[in-house]
Chain A
Amino acid sequence: MRVSKRASGALAVGAAFALVASGCSSGNNDGGDASASKDGAIVIDGTQPENPLVPANTTETGGGKIIDWLWTGLVEYPNNGGAPQNALAESIDTSDSKVFKIKIKQNTKFHDGTTVKAENFVKAWNWAAYAPNGAQNASFFADIQGYSDLNPADPDGDGPKKAPTPSVKEMSGLKVVDDWNFEVTLSAPTAVFPTKLGYSAFMPLPDVFFTQKPEEFGKKPVGNGPVKFVSWQDDVEVKLTRFDDYTLRDKMKIKDVTVKIYQDDTAAYNDLLAGNLDFMQQVPVSSLAGDKWKTDLGERAIQTTIPSSGIIAFPIYDKRFQNPKLRKAISLSINRQEVTDKIFFGNRKPADSWANPLTPGAEPGNCTACKFDPTQAKQLLQEAGGFQGKLTLSYNADASHKEWMEAVAQQIKTNLGIDAVAVGVPTFAVFRANINAHKMTGAYRAGWQQDYPDVENWINPLYVTGGSSNDGLYSNPQVDALAKEASAAPSLEEAHKKFAEAVKLIDQDVPSMPIYFSGEQSGHSEKIKKIELTNVGELDITSVEL
């Protein structure tokens, strides 16, 4: 998952959804003054993008949200968290969930005036999947037939030998039919594939991308979204403006947007209070205590929930953690309500399901291991034969995880009598390197934010054997089989049913412990009269009215 990167999405109009996200839009919804909006300009907070702005190579929020505004994909995710809708796609047809015929809307433009054609998608996806390009989001294309030819395996794993250079540069599963049609063949049926297409990795790239170095393109990105790139002064600001030739649904109402880059969120918050900043996505932790931010901002405070969960995972490759009873005992001994109340001042919610409940297909309350039941926990621990030695709970100390991890460790200690301690690893880079190398010697902090709104995104990467983020190496053949059946199901409803069955098994095995569901606390200036947030809590820039 991208812990901080937010998936794209724009406004939904009048569709009915199975699941309604709580409070994704807020503020004054009377609408603004059209003439004030027309030439209006706003300043919002941001962080310096880590890399040049190339969609398939961006996995962090700083660059991610700008990319989400600069591009429009085949499908878009409604702000209320519901099922995706076609955006640039005219239609996406399939009879077997394996071959998809995609037709795109005709004559939409990139910001440089060239037309968005089918080959702009195919070439962009091939570029991202081609191993020597080293794109951070390459694995999103693994569903497509021929991906493995572009990503030959390293003969000796992490050893000194390097993976051979792939002999082909294009995936055999992608075929351009004509300017407006292309065909995607997957290596196995995947019902959720169309849902993924709104994720930023799947954006089209203009011809100009392929005539220059990606780094150069990324300093002056050319997208096809409602917002056009103007300039980027490193560590200072990114300037954006309305794309006047945009013809899709979500045209921007205001004109100019400046993303001001802050290194300190308190500085940004003070600017917000002084009226120098128009939107801040997450107010600083210091302003949450005693609900100070609500007093400061009044009606301009926006509280939302976002589809992101805090998790503590077990290293199942470690012998001591291989007994499911032990894992369940530890999970049952944690009082999640107390953690969210005391540590997060109620701004996050105690987790009670495996997938975040904002996700389509997720079932609220299906995590029986998430209950607080010290008696049953003790009994299970006894049945499991106790726990020898010290139980470490690792977290990366360069972000604010210390308090809640320590609270959890203390609860385990008190309720089970296990010698549990929270251990901070200095940086996320070290922490992540250890997790990748499967060298964790105790439970560790993990997090997950959905990339695309479907319960599949909460199961396949995390709990299926060989999943891209199954770092604890959990493996249950029955779960794998059900997940495979779910993916091959003819419809999403069928798929969701199968996933629900898989979750029941996961709930017995407790490969990890969901702890909390994230919340987001944003604020805006008095200048903004109407504002909505996307399904993942980003500013929906096209909704802003002054």
Chain B
Amino acid sequence: MGRYLLRRLLQLVPVFIGTTFLIYWLVWSVPGDPFAGKCGDRGCPENYRAVMTAKYHLDDSIWVQYASYMKNLFQGDFGITFGNRPISDIITTSYPNTLKLAVVALVIEAVIGLGAGVLTGLRRNGFLDNLVLVSSLFLIALPVFVIGFVLQWFFGVKWGIITPTVSSEMRITELILPGFVLGSASSAYIARVARTSIAENRRADYVRTAIAKGLPMRRVVGVHLLRNSLIPVVTLLGTDLGALMGGAIITEGIFGINGIGRQVLRAIVTKESATVVGIVVVLVVVYLVMNLLVDLLYAALDPRIRYE
């Protein structure tokens, strides 16, 4: 187990270097002079562009730029934006917001998805099963921004139950609706996967044995059936955290949340390589760690799985 963990952690190093370079190179390849568009249709004075280009070493080759970026990164310096703001500051203020939103979304989708999955998996082809089938199809088919705008308009503007946008304090109660919007499609997937998995295991030998032993139904489902059916669901949930964080950009925009989505978008458009790399690097780490956690959880859920 320890060696497995070490091996997995060592694998992170080349992945880390590879992704950072790829991202740096991609943003660098975006055409255009980042300072040409700064002053509107008037165009910027030549001196402004000269001073800024020199300040950010944009005259150097990509190799020199990347090397100096990495050197600074290992000293804990993420660099500064073209607007002279430390990128570490952007990361520390916007990441917690996106993470909070993603976790709320994850909890909501886990509760809804698992609940619906278990109920329909146990009683297949009933009214409830059909209802969940139809509504999950509906959620998967609807784009996030449609759900977001519609719910925001009804809850925020028409009925006035919530404020349309999230305040800067990011209270959990304010995040329930955005979290639901963000996690809606995923919760539908989880419901479908959980249903299939439960329905399959429902007919397994060990379940029949447990029932035959006279165990109460609650214990059969809650301990034996659910635990064995969770593996595909955990895989889905684990990788989803990264996907939710990376994909929160639309939800963040609709509800005015200061998250990483808008920062990445702004940085890509303005060719601010350092910001894009800084934010995405952390996202890559989140993905890698979540994947590792999921793999380790398998062993906890299913004793037959062992890591050497």
Chain A residues within CB distance 8 Å of chain B:
1-5, 49-52, 59-60, 131-139, 151, 154, 162-163, 215, 218, 233-237, 260-264, 266-268, 270-271, 273-274, 276, 398, 426-433, 435-436, 446-448, 461, 468-469, 471
Contacts and interface: CB of A to CB of B under 8 A. Distances in A.
A267 B165 contact: yes
Contact of A433 (B32, B50, B168): B32
Contacts of A138: 45, 47-48
26 contacts: A1-B40, A2-B39, A2-B40, A3-B40, A3-B41, A50-B38, A52-B84, A59-B38, A59-B39, A131-B47, A132-B47, A133-B51, A134-B50, A135-B45, A136-B39, A136-B45, A163-B47, A235-B93, A263-B252, A270-B152, A271-B163, A274-B163, A429-B34, A448-B41, A469-B41, A469-B43
A1 B39 CA distance: 8
B258 interface: yes
A263 B253 contact: yes
B52 interface: yes
B157 interface: yes
Closest 7 CB pairs of A and B: A134-B51, A3-B40, A430-B32, A429-B37, A429-B32, A270-B164, A433-B36
Given A262-B256, A267-B256, A429-B270, A60 B40 contact: yes
Given A132-B47, A138-B45, 16 more contacts: A2-B39, A3-B41, A4-B40, A51-B83, A60-B40, A136-B44, A138-B48, A154-B50, A234-B89, A235-B93, A266-B254, A268-B256, A273-B157, A273-B164, A431-B32, A468-B43
Given A163-B47, A469-B43, A431 B85 contact: no
Contact of B51 (A132, A433, A435, A469): A132
Contact of A264 (B38, B93, B254): B254
B157 A274 contact: yes
B224 interface: no
> Interface residues of B toward A: which range?
35 or more
Contact of A436 (B36, B149, B152): B36
B164 A2 contact: no
B269 interface: yes
Contacts of B160: 274
Given A136-B44, A270-B164, A428-B37, A264 B83 contact: no
Interface string B22-33: 000000001111
A59 to B, nearest CB: 4
A234 B90 contact: yes
Contacts of B253: 263-264, 267
Contact of B41 (A163, A264, A274, A447): A447
A261 B253 CA distance: 11
A263 B262 contact: yes
B153 interface: yes
A266 B48 CA distance: 34
A461 B42 contact: yes
Nearest to B270: A429
A163 B269 contact: no
Contacts of A50: 38, 82-83
B156 interface: yes
Given A263-B252, A266-B254, A1 B38 contact: no
Contacts of A218: 84
